[in-house]
Each structure stands twice: as C-alpha cells, then as structure tokens.
Amino acid sequence: MRGGEKSKVKKLFEIDKYKEFPRWYTEVLMKCDIVDARYPLKGMYVWKPYGYKALRNTLEILRKLLEEKGHEEVYFPMLIPESIFSKEKDFLEGFSGETFIVTGTPSKKLNEILYVRPTSETVIYYMWSIWIKGRKDLPIKIYQCVNVFRYETKATHPLLRVREIAAFLEAHTAHASKEECEKQIKEALEVYKEFFNELLLPYFIVLTPPWDTFSGAEYNYDFITAMPDGKALELGSVINLGQKFAKAFNIRFMDSDGKMKYVWQTCYGVSERVLGAVISIHGDNKGLIFPPKIAPIQVVIVPVARPEDHEIFNYCRKVARHLRQKGVRTHVDEDLEHTPGWKYYYWDMKGVPTRIEIGPRELKTKSVTIARRDVREKITVPLNQAVEKLREVWSKIEFNLREKALEHLKKMTKIVKEDINKAVGFKGLIVVPWCGKENCADEIESTIGKGVLGEIVESPLTLPSKGKCICGSIVRKFALCGVTY
C-alpha cells in the first residue's frame, strides 16, 4: 500500500455528513453509482446498476412481507381517462394540480385527455366496481410496483422528492366491513414496522391531522424519521379510505343478508424514498454503509498481493465461488491498477458492509480476514467457517447500525414538556404536547416555524406521560413537528 495514494483516496470522499448534509448526499449518490442527476429534466433521475440493485433488494423485503400476508402482485394501466380520474372529488382536487397529462401524439390530439398516474386509486377502484359482486369476492389485497409521476413545484431531491417516482410500491385492499378494514390497517402497520426494522430505520408513527390527510381518505398514519439535516422524512403512509372511493366508484357487494353494501378500503405505499433514508441515515463521513440484507455487494474480496501472485488471486476466486454458492453476494476486486489500500477506501465509500482481505498468510492457512465497514474490526477465520462468521458479523453490523440510527434520531429530536419556546431554533424534529385542536396546531406551527405532522401513536423514544399544550391544558397526547422534504 502506497501511503500517498491512500491519503489521496481518503480525500476523494471525506465529507462531514452532519455539517454538510446536502453536499454529502449529492456526492454519495453520484460517486457510489446510485443515481445520476444529470438527466436534463427536473426531478427525474437515472438509476445506475449499483443503485438499482440496492433498490430491488430493499423492495424485495417488502414484497415478501406483503405476499406472506396474502397480497398479490398486479399491474394496472398508467394512463387514466379524465372520466375516471375525476370521480372522487377530494382526490381530484388534491391531485389534479400536480398530475401530468397526455394529450395525444405530436400529430394527433386525443378526444379525451389522459392523466399520468400520480398514484393508482382511481384506475384500480374503477376495475373493482366491475370485479366485486358478492361477499366471496372480498377481501381483495393487491399491490403493484410501478412508476408514478407528480409535478412537484418544490425543490426536488433525488429519491426524496422527485417528479418520476421510479418505484412506487402501492398496496390496495377492499373489505366487507368497517372492522375488517380497521384490522387491515393494523396489519399494514405491522408489515411496515417489520419492513423499516429490517432496514434498521427508527421511526415515529403519527396520525395525520385532518387538514393534512390523503385526499379521499378518512384518516392516515405516516411513518416519519429524521434526516441528518434535521428535516422530517415521510417513509410511508397507511391510509384508511373508508367508503369515500367506494361511493364515488360505486363499489358494492351483495352481503349475506341480501343487501347491497359499499366496500371498505385501505391503501398504503412506499417508494425509493425509503432507500434515500437508508443511505442518509446509515452512511458516514467515508461514504455509504449498506445494511447487509440490501447491500448489492455483501462481501468484497481484496487480494493483498502483487499482480504476479497468481496463487492468491486463484484462492480469492475460490473463496468467492464458495461464498456465492452459499448465497452471499460477492465481488472480487481483481483490478491491477490500484493498491489494496485504495480498494479499501473505494469499497468503504460504496458501502459494502464486509471486506475479505486475502494475502500470503490467509493463502497459507486457508483462512480469510473479515473486516467490518462500520467499525474498525478485523477477524481471521478458517475458510470453512467464513459464511457462518460473516453472518455473525452482519448481525453485529445490523445491531450497531440500528443503535447508531436511534442515537441519531435522539439527537435530532427535542421533546418539549411544557414550554414550547425552548424548542424555537432547534433544527430537528420537535415533540410537543398537543390537545388535538387545529388552532393550537396553528399556534404551535407559528411559534416554532415547523409543521405539525400528526399525533404520535408510536415513538422510538420514551415520551413523558403527560405535558402542557400551548393552550394550557394538560394532555397525554403529543404532536410530532418538523420541516418536511
């Protein structure tokens, strides 16, 4: 390892994540080959192979969880005629301003304008009004993973706020009764909790205030976390649609009592934004750190050898074959131009959670040296124990990343018991006692300059048993406040 090169590489990625988060985020996405932001349309990004693999691995976790609970994958058309898009008044009002439209081809105008889905409620529920006839057609539980579009007028950020959501994983369900519908909301919350737990992300769950509820919904829950710059990020939404869409689309079934009844509906969705959170929250000043479960490469093997040490290179390939056979996503860096030291920095930057170093000593003893990405720690183990040890190391990494993420959230959250003025100027999330009234929310918002995101129903941090709302009343409820992306 040549020292000069080492320090040069070190400088290549060395950004203080907390002090310069916007620059850190932009650079990490670009240098680690997640997305390319140079496509000349605002809010639309090119997913590179490395980033796309991470995205697929991430969403695969959720797909499995949904399928275990009986959701089936479907695909509904992207274009929606105005007659269908406009059926539910609140939805139309909430979305029409930010929805792209197709008007025809360069040479031909269509008779009716077509909306490019910003989300798929209308197209799906139109079909359900045809599909659903009787009780035996219920429940329906489906999901799809599709591109959706929103004409965002705010500043766009790759993965976090975009005009083309490349991967919107939206689930939709219909039920025969209000109770089943509420049960489904609980199931969806459990699924998302498990999903975010797998991603090692801590979150608040809030019940969105009525004035911020999804257009066309009865109520919805949001999963919210804090980003390194202190802003709030909505990770996912679980929405109880009640019967609003059922009535707008006339989705009815013949119940066992012979009466025609409207169905009860829910929907819930996440997007590539989740990966944006994983990247931002787990990364450090040296670059990305991928949780092992979603890492495109789980192990990079670096030969500590001169180009002519063929035996070491052969042994590296043998180790790689062994690991791949056991299902470990493995890459051997056989590049001859760079030193091992350079490679360590490079793969650290790319967030590979574990590195295997193989030099003359490992070759001789048929062993491998495993180095962790998240902390400085190396162990040397016999090859036949490598997979087992890797899994142990990954568990430790997961534990550590989860702890660190929770620490981060603690630092980024200020919990107020009474005097809200103490929170003024705090740059992260703020938890305040809140009686639930809209005018108190207004007053809270104008005092701290942050929006009331909802009433906290689940918190990763211990909250006081009670507190004083801005109106003076003693309450046991707390609001989460923050500036959103």
Which residues make up the interface to a copy of itself (CB under 8 A)? 36, 38-41, 44-49, 52-53, 56, 72-79, 81, 83-84, 96-108, 113-114, 116, 123, 126-127, 130-131, 142, 146-147, 149, 151, 164, 166-167
CB of 146 to a copy of itself, least distance (A): 8
Closest to a copy of itself by CB, 77 or 449? 77
The torsion defined by the Cα of 295, 297, 299 and 304, in degrees rounded to 10, comes to: -140
Closest to a copy of itself by CB, 147 or 380? 147
Closest to a copy of itself by CB, 166 or 238? 166
DSSP state of 190: H
Closest to a copy of itself by CB, 48 or 293? 48
CB of 97 to a copy of itself, least distance (A): 6
Distance CA 194, CA 197 (A): 5
Distance CA 250, CA 88 (A): 11
Distance CA 186, CA 480 (A): 21
Cβ neighbours, 10 Å, residue 60: 12
- In DSSP notation, 78-135 reads SEEEHHHHTSSHHHHHHHGGG--EEEE-SS-EEEEEEEEPSSSHHHHHHHHHHH--BG
Tokens 């139309």 — which residue? 92
- Identify the CA nearest to 221 among candidates 246, 187, 272: 187
CB of 218 to a copy of itself, least distance (A): 26
Work out the burial of residue 70: count CB atoms within 10 Å of its CB; fewer than 13 is exposed, 13-18 middle, 19 or more buried: exposed
CB of 182 to a copy of itself, least distance (A): 24
Distance CA 337, CA 194 (A): 43
CB of 54 to a copy of itself, least distance (A): 11
CB of 244 to a copy of itself, least distance (A): 22
Structure-block tokens of residue 50: 């490395």
Closest to a copy of itself by CB, 123 or 299? 123
Structure-block tokens of residue 107: 């040479």
Closest to a copy of itself by CB, 114 or 267? 114
Closest to a copy of itself by CB, 98 or 377? 98
CB of 409 to a copy of itself, least distance (A): 30
CB of 132 to a copy of itself, least distance (A): 13
Residue 259: C-alpha distances to residues 135, 246, 254, 255, 308 (Å): 11, 15, 5, 5, 82
Closest to a copy of itself by CB, 130 or 465? 130
DSSP state of 420: G
